Chain A
Amino acid sequence: MTSGGRRVVVLGGSGFIGGRAVEMLVARGYAVRSASRTARPLEGLATVEPFRCDVTDAASVRDAVSGMELVVAAFVGDPRTQVDGVRNLCAALSASPARLVYLSTAEVYGGSSGALDETAPLVRQGWDYSDSKLEAEKCLQRAASVGLRVNLLRPSIVYGPRSDTWTLELGNKLEARRWGTLGRLGEGTCNLVYVDDLVAALCLALERESAPGEAFNVNGPDTLTWNEFFAAFNAELGLPPLRDWSRTEAMLRAGIGQLPRTAKELFARRGGAPPPVARVPVARRRAGSQPLAARLLDVLKATPRWRSLTSVYPRSVVYLDRKARRMLGYEPAVRARDGIARSAAWFRRVQEGTS
């Protein structure tokens, strides 16, 4: 590989994407430092240097990047973490020749629809996650205009083993029969990109420097509808066919589910962020009848998020990654079917281990 043992730090190296980036960078021969709050060493990767870093602390970021040629920013967190992390990073790299690749998200295009390339406008959508990424991008663009060597990746729906949202959470819901297809509301496009493809794009961005501030959409080779994705993952898990909830039922469920969520959010806004939860697959349920109350509770828990239901799943959008293909030589390799099969197999493996 072309790395020649170059020194790279992955900020957020214990996360879903960051973790995979660490593994794949090691395989490519980089000398990798994995920076995270826990600095948990990665299993089977003795050569990786675990590094404790809190991105909201300027000094800590400065330490984490010192002596590094390459920096990958793959940390996630609440809006403050996102934005402060990036500010600290810009400050730490302000006089440094190090190159930064920042993991943004295609959600910075907001609720926009159609075939979007990087010339589409960035649109706030009143969602903390994407709005703070957008803010972070703006910081980075300002820094790029005064010399920071940064490139940004805007992946679409990143899935694969260890994905909290699209493998664990969804797998658990499917397993518990707490999910369905969403009728017309699920007919929007699900732009799946397998985590390995994204990390491949990330490596390419590290290896082929582009103009400062250049951003790239990163998408997978197939576009499914959300309903197709749910059904395919469900089938790969070997579960009986998904029930179609229909638009009305999905809306009702989301409406019910929104009440406690709103309450929780209001509460959280006053009392600070709730502690993070580590997700694991629930143990496989035994067949047999459940008491009525438990079944009722299940229905109440089977509630899609209102925002996702009204603005993500029905959205007809394709994120064009022609620029990444042209300028980075990016070529997504994992077809949706394979990626979903790998995710399901991983889900089952972990489940076996925990039950």
Chain B
Amino acid sequence: MSTGADERGVVVIGSGPSGAAAAEMLIARNIPTTLLESGSAPQPKLHVRIARDDYLQRMPGSDAGVPCVTSGDAGATWHSALEPGGLSNYWSLQTVRLHPDDFTEGRRLHERYEWPLRYEDLEPYYRRVEGYVGILGAADDAPGFPASRVRSARALPDDWAPIAKAARAAGQGFLHRSVVQSRAFDVTLTGTAFNSYAHLIRRFPPAAPLRLVTGAHVSHLEWDGKRVTRAVYIDRETGVERAISARAFILAAGSLGSPRILLHSTSADFPQGLGNTEGVLGAYFHDHPKCGGTIRLNRALTRVRIGAFLVRPPVAESPPLLAAACTLQSVKFARGVLRGSPSIGKSNELVWWQFGTMVPTDKNRVSLSAEAKDALGLPLLEVRMRFDDEVRLALATARERLLGHLDAAGLAPEVVAYRQDAPGASVHYGGAVRMHASPRYGMLDGQNRLHAAPNVLVVDASAWPTAAEKNPVLTIMALASRAADRLANELRSS
């Protein structure tokens, strides 16, 4: 086994949004960084945007990434992408900050649902990430919604104001959707307007202390009894196993990839997976339950292409950790025309979708399959997920509130199509390597370090103790950026 030596620096595993944000910070702090990425080249894909309507956007095939054996609810599918940029090749650009309550709300249920950090801890990192990603959307705070620092401020058209008024009266913000700014007309081969590989990593200055190794699929980390010394990976091109040493290791292999690596990193000290002293590795896996459809209104509203966002019902009126937010969009222009849209600039049909939350428990979890292996000979991940009735109820409550606001605005809404997705559809997973102040409830400390192996950090959404219903990328990147910043402080001072 050959060894790439990088004793001074940090190894980051994964080039999705979390790995890219961590690498960005390390490079800015002038820490030598090696980025190991499983994918060799981005999968060819085409994305077409016409007049801000997206066409030809697709989901990663469920065989494109980490292969999984599923159980729990029927129809569950788990998506990931083993390619440079990870899932940011496919995402739909929506960016929302978590709300300060999201870090503390779980306390109402049990101390295990408390984050070991606060909104204020992340705020500067949100600003940093928003700075280089470039966001278009609501510039002002609204109930339940801390606004991002936006590059282009946008507000909803005037004829949408009655809906916002009704929502506000019920304690919910209703505002222009926030997304990564992109061109109105675009044809790209990188899939999306912000691909963490194409738009961040590839644009680091040539002099940056970064070594990028693609086609390097990490199988496990090596523990020498005191610390992790090496990351072992399989070179996809040659099939040869290699290892690389470093002072610290940042896992950013995604919500399925990171727990898989840790589960596969066993040793005499950690027979159940690296740092897994209390059996929490793999447990508390969560997803955003998802549903959506089409709503018809009794009159046409000015078309809102990027969309509107209805913040979750107020915390005080919801059961702990159960809520959902709604995104609305006027139907795509092409579809509007097909359905005899009354005018070009207006539409009486809205497409809407919701992301809800679930209470993470140890029943929903990932683990390693005893028998099934992938093409590289590594054990497959087993994912077990079940949505309880309370989850559907929270989705329904949010939907009824949305319909109520539309009704109060005199729009007589009628649901004309509806879809309730099986687990996995939202691709907002996390929790399997959660943070908690106490090792009893979490593998990671408040700085994303393994309690039991502090030179290993996990910075993707695996680290989240709970999942507020907000789209994760912005928070994933802010958290990764913060963790890398803390790590840089530590390395500099020692």
A interface residues, Cβ below 8 angstroms from B: 109-117, 119-124, 223, 316, 318, 322-323
Interface-side segment among B90-98, B412-420, B477-485: B412-420
Q: B422 near A114 (CB under 8 angstroms)?
A: yes
Interface-side segment among B106-114, B149-157, B390-398, B448-456: B390-398
Q: B291 near A114 (CB under 8 angstroms)?
A: yes
Bound form: Cα–Cα A116–B291 in Å: 10
From B75, B293, B393, A119 is in contact (CB under 8 Å) with B393
Known contacts A114-B291, A318-B75; A119/B392 CB under 8 A:
yes
Q: B417 near A117 (CB under 8 angstroms)?
A: no
Q: Interface SS of chain A: helix, strand, loop or mixed?
A: loop
Q: List 27 A-B contacts (CB under 8 A).
A: A109-B418, A110-B416, A110-B418, A112-B417, A112-B418, A112-B419, A112-B420, A113-B419, A114-B419, A114-B421, A114-B422, A115-B73, A115-B74, A115-B75, A117-B389, A117-B392, A119-B392, A119-B395, A120-B418, A121-B415, A123-B293, A123-B415, A123-B417, A123-B418, A223-B74, A318-B75, A323-B389
B288 interface hit (Cβ, 8 Å)? no
Closest partner residue, chain A, to B293 (CB atom): A112
Q: A124 near B420 (CB under 8 angstroms)?
A: no
Q: A123 near B395 (CB under 8 angstroms)?
A: no
Return chain B residues, CB-CB under 8 Å to A110. 416-418
Closest partner residue, chain B, to A117 (CB atom): B392
B399 interface hit (Cβ, 8 Å)? yes
Closest partner residue, chain A, to B425 (CB atom): A114
Closest partner residue, chain B, to A323 (CB atom): B389
Interface members, chain B 395-436 (any A CB < 8 Å): 395-396, 399, 414-422
Bound form: Cα–Cα A316–B73 in Å: 14
Known contacts A112-B293, A114-B291, A115-B73; A121/B393 CB under 8 A:
no
Bound form: Cα–Cα A284–B392 in Å: 49
Bound form: Cα–Cα A142–B99 in Å: 39
From B74, B291, B293, B416, A124 is in contact (CB under 8 Å) with B416
Return chain A residues, CB-CB under 8 Å to B293. 112, 121, 123
Q: A121 near B399 (CB under 8 angstroms)?
A: yes
Tell me the minimal C-beta distance from B353 to chain A in angstroms: 12
Known: A121-B399, A322-B389; 11 extra A-B contacts, CB below 8 A, are A110-B416, A110-B417, A111-B417, A112-B420, A113-B418, A113-B419, A113-B420, A114-B419, A115-B422, A120-B418, A122-B415
Bound form: Cα–Cα A223–B75 in Å: 12
Return chain A residues, CB-CB under 8 Å to B417. 110-112, 123
Q: A114 near B415 (CB under 8 angstroms)?
A: no
Q: B418 near A121 (CB under 8 angstroms)?
A: yes
Tell me the minimal C-beta distance from B8 to chain A in angstroms: 51
Interface residue count on the B side (C-beta < 8 Å): 21
Bound form: Cα–Cα A189–B486 in Å: 51
Return chain A residues, CB-CB under 8 Å to B419. 112-114
Return chain B residues, CB-CB under 8 Å to A123. 293, 415-418
Return chain A residues, CB-CB under 8 Å to B399. 121
Bound form: Cα–Cα A243–B392 in Å: 40
Bound form: Cα–Cα A137–B74 in Å: 29
Return chain A residues, CB-CB under 8 Å to B393. 119
Q: B420 near A114 (CB under 8 angstroms)?
A: yes
Return chain B residues, CB-CB under 8 Å to A120. 396, 418, 420
Tell me the minimal C-beta distance from B414 to chain A in angstroms: 7
Return chain A residues, CB-CB under 8 Å to B74. 115, 223, 318
Tell me the minimal C-beta distance from A101 to chain B in angstroms: 22
Q: B396 near A119 (CB under 8 angstroms)?
A: yes
Closest partner residue, chain A, to B76 (CB atom): A115
Closest partner residue, chain B, to A322 (CB atom): B389
Return chain B residues, CB-CB under 8 Å to A115. 73-75, 387, 420, 422
Closest partner residue, chain A, to B416 (CB atom): A123
Interface members, chain B 263-303 (any A CB < 8 Å): 291, 293
Bound form: Cα–Cα A323–B416 in Å: 25
Tell me the minimal C-beta distance from A265 to chain B in angstroms: 22
Bound form: Cα–Cα A124–B294 in Å: 12
Tell me the minimal C-beta distance from A354 to chain B in angstroms: 41
Closest partner residue, chain B, to A122 (CB atom): B415
Bound form: Cα–Cα A109–B291 in Å: 14
Closest partner residue, chain A, to B388 (CB atom): A322
Q: A124 near B414 (CB under 8 angstroms)?
A: yes
Bound form: Cα–Cα A120–B400 in Å: 10
Bound form: Cα–Cα A120–B399 in Å: 10
Tell me the minimal C-beta distance from A131 to chain B in angstroms: 12
Return chain B residues, CB-CB under 8 Å to A113. 418-420
Return chain B residues, CB-CB under 8 Å to A323. 389
Bound form: Cα–Cα A122–B392 in Å: 15
Closest partner residue, chain B, to A125 (CB atom): B416
Known contacts A121-B399, A318-B75, A322-B389; A116/B420 CB under 8 A:
yes
Tell me the minimal C-beta distance from A295 to chain B in angstroms: 39
User: Which 8 residue pairs across A and B have the least CB separation, nearest first?
Assistant: A114-B420, A119-B396, A112-B418, A121-B415, A113-B419, A119-B392, A114-B419, A117-B392
Closest partner residue, chain B, to A114 (CB atom): B420
Q: In the complex, which of the residues A115, A116, A123, A323 has the most CB atoms of chain B within 10 Å of its own CB atom?
A: A115
Tell me the minimal C-beta distance from A128 to chain B in angstroms: 17
Return chain A residues, CB-CB under 8 Å to B389. 117, 322-323
Return chain B residues, CB-CB under 8 Å to A109. 418
Return chain B residues, CB-CB under 8 Å to A117. 389, 392
Closest partner residue, chain A, to B395 (CB atom): A119
Return chain B residues, CB-CB under 8 Å to A119. 392-393, 395-396
Interface members, chain B 421-479 (any A CB < 8 Å): 421-422
Bound form: Cα–Cα A112–B294 in Å: 10
Bound form: Cα–Cα A119–B322 in Å: 15
Bound form: Cα–Cα A117–B418 in Å: 12
Q: Mark B61-76, 1 if CB is under 8 A from A, else 0.
A: 0000000000001110
Return chain A residues, CB-CB under 8 Å to B73. 115
Bound form: Cα–Cα A316–B418 in Å: 12
Return chain B residues, CB-CB under 8 Å to A122. 415
Return chain B residues, CB-CB under 8 Å to A318. 74-75
Interface members, chain B 282-335 (any A CB < 8 Å): 291, 293
Q: Mark B48-90, 1 if CB is under 8 A from A, else 0.
A: 0000000000000000000000000111000000000000000
Closest partner residue, chain B, to A111 (CB atom): B417
Return chain A residues, CB-CB under 8 Å to B422. 114-115
Closest partner residue, chain B, to A316 (CB atom): B75
Return chain A residues, CB-CB under 8 Å to B387. 115
Tell me the minimal C-beta distance from A55 to chain B in angstroms: 28
Tell me the minimal C-beta distance from B293 to chain A in angstroms: 7
Interface members, chain B 355-396 (any A CB < 8 Å): 387, 389, 392-393, 395-396
Tell me the minimal C-beta distance from B11 to chain A in angstroms: 41
Tell me the minimal C-beta distance from A319 to chain B in angstroms: 11
Tell me the minimal C-beta distance from A181 to chain B in angstroms: 21
Tell me the minimal C-beta distance from A355 to chain B in angstroms: 42
Return chain A residues, CB-CB under 8 Å to B420. 112-116, 120
Tell me the minimal C-beta distance from A30 to chain B in angstroms: 32
Closest partner residue, chain B, to A326 (CB atom): B389
Interface members, chain B 4-25 (any A CB < 8 Å): none
Bound form: Cα–Cα A124–B293 in Å: 13
Return chain A residues, CB-CB under 8 Å to B291. 114
Bound form: Cα–Cα A171–B125 in Å: 66
Closest partner residue, chain A, to B290 (CB atom): A114
